Structure 1
Amino acid sequence: MTASLPSTCFDIQGPDGVLRAESWGPADAPVIVLVHGYPDNRSEWREVAEQLADQYRVVAYDVRGAGDSFKPTGRAAYRLDRLTADFKAVIDAVSPNRPVHLVGHDWGSVQSWEFVTEPSLKGRIASYVSCSGPCLDHMGFWLRGRLSRPTPRHLYQFVIQMLKSWYVYMFQLPWWPEAQWRLFIGKHWPTLVRWTEGTIITPRPTQVSDGMHGVWLYRANVFQRVMAPRERHAQAPVMVLVATKDNFVSPWLSEDLSRWVPSLERREIKAAHWVNVADPVGFASHVRSFIQGPKVAR
């Protein structure tokens, strides 16, 4: 087994609490910020970070509610504007004078869409790689488009995505998702992922807590944004990695993004949802080639 590269863990004071971050690579190199999804924490990025640390300072942080970061409760604490404030605190701490390259997976991708379309962050993000997590506003317009033009293909796409989003509806229930994490899911999470995705994930000490707190992300944002979408335009080049075997996010959700992303690259990969864990070498290769490609300014 290859030894892990050394990393440095440190705390960042966010606007509402302390965020735990970890970095790899040279301190003076261009910065890549990795944002994890649900129900994960920064550890899901370790192998990807190690692949990129030869040329970049790679920073992964536990989003609020996950890992070793602070854990607020309640809907308001998990709104996208609070997550954006956390991200700003992170980049102010790790790269105050230079734009960062941003990479998001799952809910890390969902919130990173908010960052890259946020006018106040224009110039702070050099590029964005999105995987398995749509912009909620873009998704809202996508759903409207499918229903306003109800061709057989559009209706099929709409129904399939609604079925894939079954867990989103469950997470709106009070106390039930938290109880399931505490009583069953937390103990068996690696097994469930292996059965459904064929992906091996490492058990985490904070898994139950990550799952319980993270449901507030769905309660605070999904229906609010999808039902009343805003026109959000990306302010940096974007690459969307489309996992064609994703059990949760349909490839069709990213088909109409040129409306919102002036500089867009879309790559389909034969992979399941946790491709960054299942194939960190391949995932990192996609990130590196995009960052070093012609769309991204140096």
Structure 2
Amino acid sequence: MPPSKSTTTSTVVSADGTRIAVYDYGNSGAPVLICVHGYPDNAALWEPVAERLAGDFHVVAYDVRGAGESDCPQSTSAYHLDRLEEDFRAVIDTVSPDQPVHVLAHDWGSIQSWHFVTDPALRDRITSFVSISGPSLDHAGYFIRQRNRAALRQLLHSWYIFYFHLPWLPELAWRKGWAHRAFNRLETQDAEEKRSIGDYVNGMELYRANVVPRLIRPTERHTDVPVLAVSPEDDPFVTTPLQTQVGRWAANLRVEIVRGGHWMPRNDPGLVAQLVLEHTGQVARWEV
């Protein structure tokens, strides 16, 4: 389901021909804020946040490949992080070809955005990054290698990742509704009306294409982009240490541990908007 009628909708074409649906909340001339959703959401996740930030930013959201109105490639390899980065490039080349953008991301949106901000080729295209409930997979690979209590605790929280790698059963569970009930026991959410079954089923390819290779063979990925890592303290999927103990990789890092659960953009959009304004305001002061 596309975001509300307050947006304008367009399509950009990624390097491999995948069509990406883009939603523009207006305010041309303001700093551009790109919002990247996670799994199993689509760009509609950002509606309440965008409404609060549209006076300060030119807010743009897009459906990640496999979700919403974007194309759904059939091969697992089409969901590799490098393909997701090509989608991001196609979006920013269209909406902000001459100026760098701010990035706000959640869950798998944050995972892929860490890939973007740690790519030297994109350093001059990104002004700031707000990451909510999503680590870099490479950073996670090094974190797990510590083999301490925090790493073990995160592995226990990540049980569902291994489940998503099973053949046919996860797809069947989403289609039958079993998985919805199971995941709602971990954190209740009322978002089904804005998601399609394709958002659930196609998005599992993100895990299958990226998680195991990155955890087994992580690479050192650094950034000096100013990062705000936001960790909801009751997140049942991503522990605070994994999200916040990344100073080794992010030279300009701020951390906010906040009350709430994983679906913070939906459940507390006002706080998300406040954190974005505070972080980008601080970045602007640094640049003066």
Q: State TM-score, norm by structure 1.
A: 0.90
Task: Compute the displacement of 1:196 (Å).
Answer: 2.9
**AA matched with 1:264:** L
Question: Does residue 35 of structure 2 align to residue 34 of structure 1?
Answer: yes
Question: Does residue 199 of structure 2 align to residue 210 of structure 1?
Answer: yes
**AA matched with 2:237:** F
Aligned ranges 1:252-263 → 2 under 5 Å: 252-263=241-252
Match for residue 163 of structure 2 among 160, 170, 173: 170
**3-state SS in 2 of match to 1:257:** coil
State the distance in 2 between where 1:255 and 1:18 align. Answer: 34
Question: Does residue 15 of structure 2 align to residue 15 of structure 1?
Answer: yes
State the distance in 2 between where 1:5 and 1:183 align. Answer: 31
**AA matched with 1:217:** L
Residues 43 and 56 (structure 1), Cα distance of their counterparts in 2 relative to 1, 3 Å cut: same
**3-state SS in 2 of match to 1:28:** coil
Aligned-residue RMSD, C-alpha: 1.7
Aligned ranges 1:269-288 → 2 under 5 Å: 269-288=258-277
Task: Compute the displacement of 1:297 (Å).
Answer: 3.1
How many percent identity over aligned positions?
Answer: 42
> Contact (CA 8 Å) 1:200, 1:278: kept in 2 or not?
no
State the distance in 2 between where 1:242 and 1:128 align. Answer: 14
Q: Any runs of at least 4 consecutive aligned residues in structure 1 with deviations exceeding 6 A, and if so which?
A: none
Structure 2: runs of 5+ lacking an equivalent: none
**3-state SS in 2 of match to 1:122:** helix
> Contact (CA 8 Å) 1:193, 1:201: kept in 2 or not?
no
**AA matched with 1:265:** R
Deviations 1:136-181 (A, max 9, x none): 0001111112x2xxxxxx2x32222111111100111122211111
Aligned ranges 1:1-298 → 2 under 5 Å: 6-16=6-16, 17-145=18-146, 147=147, 154=148, 156-185=149-178, 189=180, 195-204=185-194, 206-294=195-283, 297=287
> Contact (CA 8 Å) 1:117, 1:234: kept in 2 or not?
yes
Q: Which moved more, 1:101-110 or 1:247-256?
A: 247-256
State the distance in 2 between where 1:296 and 1:67 align. Answer: 37
Task: Compute the displacement of 1:202 (Å).
Answer: 4.8
Q: Which moved more, 1:268-277 or 1:22-31?
A: 22-31
**AA matched with 1:98:** Q
Deviations 1:232-266 (A, max 9, x none): 00141000001110000000113431110110000
State the distance in 2 between where 1:235 and 1:83 align. Answer: 21
**AA matched with 1:240:** A
Residues 211 and 5 (structure 1), Cα distance of their counterparts in 2 relative to 1, 3 Å cut: closer
Deviations 1:82-122 (A, max 9, x none): 00011000000000000000011000000000000011111
Residues 65 and 130 (structure 1), Cα distance of their counterparts in 2 relative to 1, 3 Å cut: same
> Contact (CA 8 Å) 2:134, 2:243: kept in 1 or not?
no
Task: Compute the displacement of 1:27 (Å).
Answer: 1.6
Task: Compute the displacement of 1:199 (Å).
Answer: 3.6
State the distance in 1 between where 2:74 and 2:248 align. Answer: 36
Deviations 1:186-212 (A, max 9, x none): xx84x66654324433512x5210111
> Contact (CA 8 Å) 1:64, 1:72: kept in 2 or not?
yes
Task: Compute the displacement of 1:5 (Å).
Answer: 7.7
> Contact (CA 8 Å) 2:227, 2:250: kept in 1 or not?
yes
Residues 84 and 49 (structure 1), Cα distance of their counterparts in 2 relative to 1, 3 Å cut: same
State the distance in 1 between where 2:182 and 2:144 align. Answer: 29
> Contact (CA 8 Å) 1:25, 1:55: kept in 2 or not?
no
